[in-house]
Structure 1
Amino acid sequence: MVKLVQPPMRDSHVSPLICRTMNVMKLQRFAPARNHSRLNTSRFGERPLWFRPITIIKVAEHNSGSGLDELETLAQKKIEIYQAVEGINRGIFGIPSAKKSEIESLVKQLESLNPNPYPTLELDKVGGCWRLVYSTISILGSKRTKLGLRDFISLDDFFQTIDISKSKAVNVIKFSARGLSLLSGQLSIEASFKIASTTRVDINFENSTIIPDQLMNVFRKNYDLLLGIFNPEGWLEITYVDDTMRIGRDDKSNIFVLERFDDNNNS
């Protein structure tokens, strides 16, 4: 999804692809209602992350003998990941090493249950709109200060929309600037991709834009820094994908956990 590359800035404008409604829920399983006192609204939805519905999907046919147990395990691992990432702002501003180890252990466990081990042979499972839940990419120290991300500007949702028919992907990073009358805006990065193997795609940066102009004025001095953080150029290994969750690892050893986003029901 992201490689720290700083290509030249272009003036082209990206219109983010429309997130399509994905009616994928076959069977809903809710996390146990623990910690009722924490039923506050999450930035990722109206319920806390651990209380969201988990889709139970079909695992590989050769495991059908113990299929029910594996379905239960897969659903539980998703719940545990949501619980682990709650309240850490996707990890973008750094997290304690113990928390990082916990999340990465859970990610590996879910990867080992991947029901679609050859995702580039079934790109329809990858296409559509996704929202970032967790990433090991971080903005720390002087980078965070230069970008005004300590007090002045807030990072909101991160979206990735994949159009498999055009071999295109658009990453959209949303911002809000409290000092500009609660101005909202976004950085959009458009890229193309091609299949490199049954699990890997090569990604090429095409163009980027920031809207509105007031937000571009805020980032103009450090635009190369901002683009270098979020530019997806490189390769991405798709290590897990099902109807509701996707995990990827890039050529800079970053991990990305994304959830499928239904624009009609979650916006």
Structure 2
Amino acid sequence: MLGKAELLGIIAGKNRGLLATPTDKTAILSAVAKLEDRNPTPRPLEAADLLNGDWRLLYTTSRGLLGIDQFPVFKLGQIYQSIRVNESKVYNIAEVYGVPFLEGIISVVAGFEQVNDRRVQVKFNRSIVGLQRLIGYQSPSNYIAEIEENKKFVALDFKLEPREQQGWLDITYLDADLRIGRGNEGSVFVLTKV
């Protein structure tokens, strides 16, 4: 699909948006809009087989996510989002690098509820922040399995009040290996299936 290749070409080398210039951002948002107009899955929440699974962030305009890179001596690594449709759960995982042996992980667990054919209401309920070595982090899927077993980690591991930590997300494009979403704070997210 030409629109998909165009978008992937424009976001290549932009380090999830960290290196995007204002001109790049305009071109990327234009390519996103063109692709959204040709969404092959207009009812993405009914396509659990496509939506379910592990996704890696390719590009975002989210200041909250990109802001992680602003901490001294730390750099933002890969960002993953894992969706478990049957359990109505989503796991956001950001890998953080910098000082050797002090690689970190920042993660949030949330529940979601379908609002319409493409929007979910998201309620964050648990946050885990710590060192990858102490947590025993190897990969997003292993880590999520441990979270689902209610493992308590050697980290900042705390519950969040869902009424205070919530938002919504529209899934505006979904195919077998690409997902685009728009959040309640105006952020755009482009992810690829892992």
TM-score, structure 2 normalization: 0.77
1:165, CA displacement in angstroms? 1.2
Determine the C-alpha separation between the residues in 2 that align with 1:232 and 1:124.
Answer: 28
Runs of 4+ in 1 over 6 A off after TM superposition: 213-216
Report the aligned-residue RMSD: 2.7
Letter in 1 for 2:110: A
Cα deviations across residues 79-114 of structure 1 (Å, max 9, x unaligned)?
Answer: 2112111221111x3632111010011111111111
Task: Give secondary structure in 2 for the equivalent of 1:99.
Answer: helix
Does the alignment pair 1:115 with 2:40?
yes
The corresponding residue for 2:125 is 206
1:211, CA displacement in angstroms? 2.3
1:131 pairs, out of 56, 71, 87, with: 56
Determine the C-alpha separation between the residues in 2 that align with 1:207 and 1:89.
Answer: 27
The corresponding residue for 2:146 is none
| Contact 1:172-1:188 at 8 Å conserved across structures | yes
Q: Which runs of 5+ in 1 are unaligned?
A: 1-74, 221-226, 262-267
| Contact 1:185-1:215 at 8 Å conserved across structures | no
| Contact 1:132-1:257 at 8 Å conserved across structures | yes
The corresponding residue for 1:155 is 76
1:133, CA displacement in angstroms? 0.4
Task: Give secondary structure in 2 for the equivalent of 1:111.
Answer: helix
1:118, CA displacement in angstroms? 0.8
The corresponding residue for 1:60 is none
Matched-pair identity in %: 33
| Contact 2:103-2:132 at 8 Å conserved across structures | no
1:193 pairs, out of 109, 112, 117, with: 112
| Contact 2:94-2:107 at 8 Å conserved across structures | yes
Q: Which runs of 5+ in 2 are unaligned?
A: 136-155
| Contact 2:68-2:76 at 8 Å conserved across structures | no
The structure with the largest alpha-carbon Rg is 1
How many residues were matched structurally? 167
Does the alignment pair 1:241 with 2:166?
no
The corresponding residue for 1:68 is none
With a CA cutoff of 8 Å and minimum separation of 6, indicate the structure with the bigger relative contact order.
Answer: 1
